[in-house]
């Protein structure tokens, strides 16, 4: 039961191989254990505030000290809705973090994939009076990826761009090939992200001060799910942004998948 112990690499070649395998297993156990502890801490922290707020307000309604108006009930309802969303998102996060073991790699036309996400958001964009453009690549962009997981990533990034861009704004999505990578990008001219928050937005439950104050209803899980999925593909995800001017999110994925 002592997972802290590591075996010294000694003995015959077979024994050394066995020791290596066990040591790798032990360090994997430790990683999972640390991840679980950190997740529990973050999750408890995230759940505590809205739960306390809902409980106190309901209690006050029962005691007759908080008026049972439609507005107050709606506000409690939307807090509970957000909690339910958070729980669903945590499930997604846990699936995404375990994804590297079960991705379904296939040869995919990435331009078509991004175009299909673009099409699925045209209605939402129109409703919000945002122009949503798709830039056709000038050459075929194919890669070995898990189609559904990358749809999930692009959906998240485009949905964020629409969420954090005010009406009248513009969002552009596109695909490119550079060397042995395919690059998916999404550029908006929305509220942008402050320099010191650029790396933090990929952390789970992180929401920038600006988006918190806008009460977008986000849970801060989407980008951490996206990062886990992209990294499971051996790719990278990042953002460039100027606060107040807009952001460009990009995803780089290896064209061919090599088994790690």
Identify which range of 42-50, 76-84, 142-150, 201-209 contacts ligand ADP by CB under 6 A: 201-209
Q: Please, are residues 3 and 29 in contact by the beta-carbon 8 Å criterion?
A: yes
Work out whether strand 131-135 and strand 170-178 pair parallel, antiparallel, or are unpaired: parallel
**Closer CB to ligand ADP, residue 176 or residue 211?**
211
**Does 191 participate in binding ligand ADP (rule CB under 6 A)?**
yes
Task: Choose, by CB under 6 A, the member of 152, 176, 189, 208 that binds ligand ADP.
Answer: 208
Q: Please, are residues 86 and 221 in contact by the beta-carbon 8 Å criterion?
A: yes
What tokens appear for 208 in the block? 């920038």
Cα gap 147→118, rounded to integer Å: 15
**Does 184 participate in binding ligand ADP (rule CB under 6 A)?**
no
**Does 141 participate in binding ligand ADP (rule CB under 6 A)?**
no
Q: Could you tell me the smallest distance in angstroms from the CB atom of residue 144 to ligand ADP?
A: 26
What binding mask, one character per residue, do residues 161-180 give for ligand ADP by CB under 6 A, x or -? x--x----------------
- Residue of this chain nearest to ligand ADP (CB atom): 218
Query: For the chain, where are the alpha helices, taking DSSP H only?
Result: 13-62, 70-97, 110-127, 147-163, 209-213, 222-232
Selection from 65, 47, 95 nearest residue 219 by Cα: 47
Task: Compute the radius of gyration of the chain from its Cα atoms.
Answer: 22
**Does 223 participate in binding ligand ADP (rule CB under 6 A)?**
yes
Identify which range of 19-27, 48-56, 145-153, 206-214 contacts ligand ADP by CB under 6 A: 206-214
The residues that touch ligand ADP, with contacts defined as CB under 6 A, are 156, 160-161, 164, 188, 190-193, 201, 206-208, 211, 218-224, 247
């Amino acid at each position: 039961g002592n997972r802290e112990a590591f075996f010294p690499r000694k003995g015959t070649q077979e024994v050394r191989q066995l020791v290596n395998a066990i040591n790798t297993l032990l360090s994997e156990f430790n990683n999972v254990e640390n991840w679980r502890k950190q997740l529990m801490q973050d999750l408890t922290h995230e759940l505590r505030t809205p739960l306390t707020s809902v409980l106190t307000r309901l209690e006050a309604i029962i005691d007759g000290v908080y008026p049972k108006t439609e507005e107050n009930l709606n506000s409690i309802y939307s807090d509970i809705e957000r909690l339910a969303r958070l729980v669903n998102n945590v499930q997604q996060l846990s699936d995404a973090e375990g994804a590297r073991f079960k991705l379904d790699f296939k040869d995919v036309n990435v331009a078509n994939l991004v175009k299909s996400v673009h099409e699925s958001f045209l209605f939402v964009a129109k409703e919000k009076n945002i122009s949503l453009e798709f830039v056709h690549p000038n050459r075929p962009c194919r890669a070995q990826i898990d189609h559904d997981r990358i749809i999930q990533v692009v959906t998240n990034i485009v949905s964020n761009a629409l969420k954090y861009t005010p009406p009248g704004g513009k969002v552009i999505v596109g695909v490119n090939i550079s060397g042995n990578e395919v690059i998916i990008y999404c550029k908006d001219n929305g509220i942008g992200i402050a320099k010191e928050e650029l790396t933090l937005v990929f952390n789970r439950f992180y929401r920038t001060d600006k988006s918190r104050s806008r009460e977008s209803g986000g849970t801060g899980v989407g980008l951490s799910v996206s990062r886990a999925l992209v990294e499971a593909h051996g790719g990278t995800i990042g953002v460039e942004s100027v606060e107040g001017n807009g952001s460009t999110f990009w995803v780089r994925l290896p064209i061919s998948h090599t088994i790690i």
